[in-house]
Each structure stands twice: as C-alpha cells, then as structure tokens.
Amino acid sequence: MVTRFLEHIITSNLYKNKVILILGARQTGKTTLLKKIAEQQERTIWLNGDEYDIQQRFKNATSTNLKALIGNHKLVIIDEAQRIENIGLSLKLLHDTYPDVQLIATGSSAFELQNKTNEPLTGRKLEYQLFPISFAEMVQHHSELLENRSIKSRLVYGYYPEIINNEGNEIDVLKSLADSYLFRDILMLDTIKKPEKLVKLLQALAFQIGSEVSYNEIGNSIGLDSKTVEVYINLLEKSFVLFRLNSYNRNLRNELKLGKKIYFYDNGIRNAIISSFQIIEARQDAGALFENFLVSERMKFNHYSKNYVNTFFWRTKEQQEIDYIEEKNAEISAFEFKWSANKKVKFSKTFTNAYPNAKTQLITFDNITTFLS
C-alpha cells in the first residue's frame, strides 16, 4: 500500500479540538486512508453517509440522539458526509458538546460539503484535499529510479490508486472511473440541465489542455452559451475533475488580463474522456500531456508541503508565453516545460525585462524530480 502524505498530516492533528474535513474526488483513496488511520486508534466508529439509516439518524439531530449514535467512541469518521442533510450543523453540535471526541468527515464534492460546513464550522475545522496518488508519494513508495521508469505510463494512465494497483488493466479501470464514479455527484445536481452537453464540454476541454481557453468559442462549438459553460466549469472544478490557471499580469499593457488555461487533476481521466490511450511516443499531444502532468503534480506537491503560492501562466497579445509561474512573497518563479530535453528554450526577453528578478527554469524529463518532490 502506498503511504499517503496526508496520513502523517492528519495523524499529527488528531485531538487538537478541530473537526477534520477531507475533500477529494471519488476513488482517490479517502476511505482507504482513513481505515489505515483508524486501525491505529482506539474506540473508533465508522459512519457511511451513503447509507439511508445513517442519513435518517442525522435528521433533526440533537446532542442527545447524536450521543446515542456515537456512544463512547473517541474517533468518529463520517464517510461521504456530503450525503447527509445539515451535516455542518450536526458536526458543530457534536464538536461543541463533546470536545473530547475527534470528528473526521470526508466528501467527494467540494461544492456540497464546503457549502454545508463553511459557516457552521468557522474556526472549528482543518480542511485538506486528497488527490490521486502523487509522483512524490510513489518516489517515497519504491524509489526515484523506479518511478522515473513509469513516467511514460503515468502520462497516459495517471495516478488513481486503482490504476496503480491494476497494471495491465488500466484502460478498463479508467473507463469505469470516468463513466461510473467521477461525475456522479455533478450529474445529480439540478443545475445540470443537459448532461450530454457536459460530456461534450469535457471532451472539448480535454483537447485544449495547455492552451488558452475561450468560453465563447467552446460554447459555440457544443451549443451552450458562455455563461453556462462557466457554470459547468465551476462545478467540474469544485468536484475535483479539473482546475484553472489565470494569466499573470503586473507590468505590461500587452499582457493578457483575463486569459485562462484549464488542466485536469489526472492525465488518465483526461485521456479516458476522449478515449485516447496510445503510448506517449506515438502521440501528437505528448507535450500537452507532459505539461498537464507537471502542473497537476506540482499542485499536489505544493498542497502537501504547505508551500502556499499563487499560480499562473503568462502570455502577451503577441503570443509570447511562459508555461507556468509561481508567486510567493512577491518573488516570481517562471518555468518552461519541454517533454524533449533536446529542445533549446529561451525565455522571452519581454518577460525577463519586465520581471528582472524572476527566477527561470526549464523542466524536462531529466529534472522533474527537483520540481515535484
């Protein structure tokens, strides 16, 4: 079993008078992670929010009937908590009434669980996100050498735990993940009036990873207005399918002000959406897949290491571009990504002149370890 970085983070924060929330897409390993943590603790009770009787026990909850539910247990884990009505108020009631009890709740839909818990749990919670397994976690699991040997496969099939554990059967597993699990929460929302358009939107976005995205152009191509495209993308982002990078602009009049790129949290899910599983050497989108991989893996690394940075891309109206930028404490780090280490890269003089103190670095297959772990 791959040890997740979040395990130590959660274990070190138990019994510190905070409700712990763990968010993440379905099948990223939240349940497995918590079962491992629970094995090391005493007096643990596990409640599954998908089960009807558990949902009913939380309806119109009082401190008395919640105490009857949890008994004398000291660690209470509520899995798929977004399925429970008024879960935020119930967690607040339990936390305030029984401060010695450690509460952990998981949710596969950020837009559900956060909306239900943000206000009731203000000042009472620690919130974490569990991503698919990361490059750095796999390096720790076996070695940098072995994981580097697997990069070509990861670029195509990604890092979902079930993919890691089913070598040789990746395509069937990915199709099942994409079709049966990943979008279940979104498609249950009344906001999604045309689910077939959501699929077309995902396919259009999958073909544009690493490129600037126009909501108007995408909307015109699939038959949705730009506002609906933005609403759907917001939901996909909050359900951990994809995320956005905005354009960086500080100094120049010709810098893009409202530009945006969209990346997928996992390469395998992206490829499953468009049913594209060719080996990396045979792909015309190898560069885009490498960029998606690096940006998503860097996001995981920053999250788990508490490296709080603002992230962007940079482009001018004349198409001068920097792939990825991090800004921290007014310091700028700029990165260019190239799948082929043989390609020579010169950073735009327009950028380096405008931001002379920015650090620049080229990331290729040969030095990804320094960037991702």
For residue 355, give the DSSP letter: S
Give the C-alpha distances (Å, rounded to integers) separating 317 from 141, 253, 321, 351.
44, 9, 9, 13
pLDDT digits over 317-351, tens only?
A: 888 899 999 999 999 999 999 987 777 788 999 99
pLDDT of residue 189: 65
Mean pLDDT of the chain: 92
β pairing state of 359-363 and 331-337: parallel
Say yes or no to pLDDT of 215 above 80: yes
- List, in sequence order, the alpha helices (H) in 98-188: 110-117, 135-141, 144-157, 161-164, 170-176, 184-187
Bridge-based pairing state of the strands 75-79 and 260-264: unpaired
CA distance 86 to 61: 9
pTM over 0.85: yes
Residue 271 backbone phi and psi in degrees, to 5: -70, -30
With a cut of 80, say whether residue 356 has pLDDT above it.
Answer: yes
For 255-305, what is each residue's pLDDT tens digit? Answer: 777 789 999 999 999 999 999 999 999 999 999 999 999 999 999 999 999
Taking alpha carbons only, the member of 257, 248, 252 closest to residue 324 is 248
For 45-104, how does the pLDDT look when each residue is reduced to its tens digit (9 = 90+)?
999 999 999 999 998 889 899 999 999 999 999 999 998 988 999 999 999 999 999 999
Go through the domains of the chain in sequence order and give each one's CATH number: 5-129 (3.40.50.300), 135-372 (no CATH)
pLDDT of 180 > 90? The answer is: no
Whether residue 90 contacts residue 58, with contact meaning beta carbons closer than 8 Å, is answered with yes
Q: Which residues face 22 on adjacent strands?
A: 106, 128
What percent of the chain has a predicted confidence (pLDDT) above 90? 77
Question: What is the three-class DSSP state of 76?
Answer: strand
Contact 359/334 with Cβ under 8 angstroms? yes
CA-CA-CA-CA dihedral for 115, 24, 49, 195, to nearest 10? 80
Structure tokens at 221: 């191509």
Contact 242, 205 (CB under 8 A): yes
- 326 with 363: CB under 8 angstroms? no
pLDDT at 240 over 70: yes
pLDDT in tens, 105-159: 999 878 788 888 989 999 999 999 999 999 999 999 999 999 999 999 999 999 9
